[in-house]
Chain A
Amino acid sequence: MLSPIGPTGGHIYRVSDGKTPKTVVMIQCVGSRSLKANPYCSFVCCSVALKNAQLLKQEYPEMDVIIYYIDIRTTDKGNEEYYRKIREADVRMIRGKVGELTEDDDHNLMVRAYSSLTGELTKIKADMVVLSTGMNPSKGTMEAIEVLGLGKGPNGFLSEIHGCLKPQETKNIGIYICGCAAGPKNIPYSVSTALAAASKAAALLSHKTIIQELIIAEIDETLCSGCHRCEKVCEYKAISINDNKIAQVDELKCKGCGVCISSCPARAIDLKYYRDRQFEAEIKGIGTGELDISQKKSIKIAN
């Protein structure tokens, strides 16, 4: 609405009766940071609301602008400036969650909220209310997770393989995530994650070969009974049951975690370089004789 090329040409009026509002109330964290709806912060709304409030005050200096907030979070570069300017401008900031919103016959709205700083109930008659609704994963996210076998984070967005060290990579080689696919982001952050994802993809393609760890699961076909248990536990969808009802490992998908091995009731799977008999020999070696800590402790340390 504030955009000069928007549907109202940059002018603010109520769609219902065409009246220019005198009082605008903005409500932050609608459906965000709540145990009932989205538990996470939507990241962009505070800065956007502050920016809009500033634009409204520039355009209509007489207008009353009131912002209800829980906490103002002006993350990212330059956004704190909006907050400082708003504090200097004549914008009322009320810390508190809105409890009730009612409309009367003249399309005026009554906003009731508890101000947690002054400890009193506030009642404001508003001509227009702006809701800063929370950011949700797009409708296709769930489908993408199912089709591509990607990871789903606790908030419903796509999850990266490692939040700090591999923020763009998914568990499938060659699929990268960026922007709001991985969680709420603003535009600069989305652009930088997109660039990171693009460079990751370019790095993978420039090699022409994929380097794969040799630590991968191996199936003993004589023991496999095709019970599908390994197929279910494999997070990478690397195991499938073939037509002969024998499990098959996709050597490019397998990451070598070994979860399938300890879940196999027939012990038909082994992990190359981390085989059962290697572990057993290791345990035996530690447990008996030469490495008996309690008897040869001083010798061990001296060595």
Chain B
Amino acid sequence: MPEAKNKAVKQDFEPDILVFCCNWCSYAGADLAGVSRFQYPPNMRIVRVMCSGRVDPSFVLKALKEGADGVLITGCHIGDCHYISGNEYAKERFEKLHRIIIKQLGINEKRVRLEWVSASEGRRFADLITEFTNEIRGLGPLKFY
């Protein structure tokens, strides 16, 4: 597994975080955070999806397998989805699938999170990334045996 790199022995652990952003709200929110020059840790990388409902459970597992220590899925607030109800499906899928699979695999469920960030919430996006990065940093690297 690529995860077994010498990350664990490092003293100051910096987590790798993958963020799925929906094109219409969260990606625009992330953009606003950048334009407004809000500071947040550089540990995350964004994958843009058209809708949070597009995020397949396999993407999350793939990300964890490929070396991400935490995965954050962000979408529009419930009721604000550009595609009417895609985020409701994302929520349903997250609750039913992600949590169950991730629990069964023995991964701490805090490593995968679903959050709503609207296009106007640049500050919230920055705060969310900071908070999530700190949380994952506290949990330590994700190790596969």
Interface residues of A (CB under 8 A from B): 151, 154, 162, 171, 215, 233, 235, 255-259, 261-263, 271, 274, 276, 279-280, 282-284, 286-289, 291-294, 297, 300-301
Contacts and interface: CB of A to CB of B under 8 A. Distances in A.
Interface stretch (B30-38, B55-63, B99-107): B55-63
B66 A262 contact: no
Interface of B: 2, 5, 7, 10, 13-16, 18, 42-43, 45, 47, 49-51, 53-59, 62-63, 65-68, 79, 82-86, 89, 93
Contacts of B58: 276
Nearest to B41: A293
10 contacts: A235-B86, A257-B50, A262-B56, A262-B89, A282-B47, A283-B47, A283-B66, A286-B45, A286-B47, A297-B14
B14 A259 contact: no
A279 B10 CA distance: 30
A291 B13 contact: no
A79 to B, nearest CB: 30
Contacts of B65: 287
Given A235-B83, A259-B53, A294-B7, 4 more contacts: A162-B82, A257-B82, A258-B53, A282-B47
Nearest to A301: B42
B18 A293 contact: no
A151 B83 CA distance: 11
A122 B89 CA distance: 51
Contact of A259 (B13, B47, B68, B89): B89
Given A235-B84, A283-B18, A283-B47, A262 B7 contact: no
B2 A287 contact: yes
B51 A288 contact: no
Contact of A279 (B5, B16, B47, B82): B47
Contact of B51 (A258, A279, A287, A297): A258
Which among B10, B47, B62 has the greatest number of chain A C-beta atoms within 10 A? B62
A275 B2 CA distance: 24
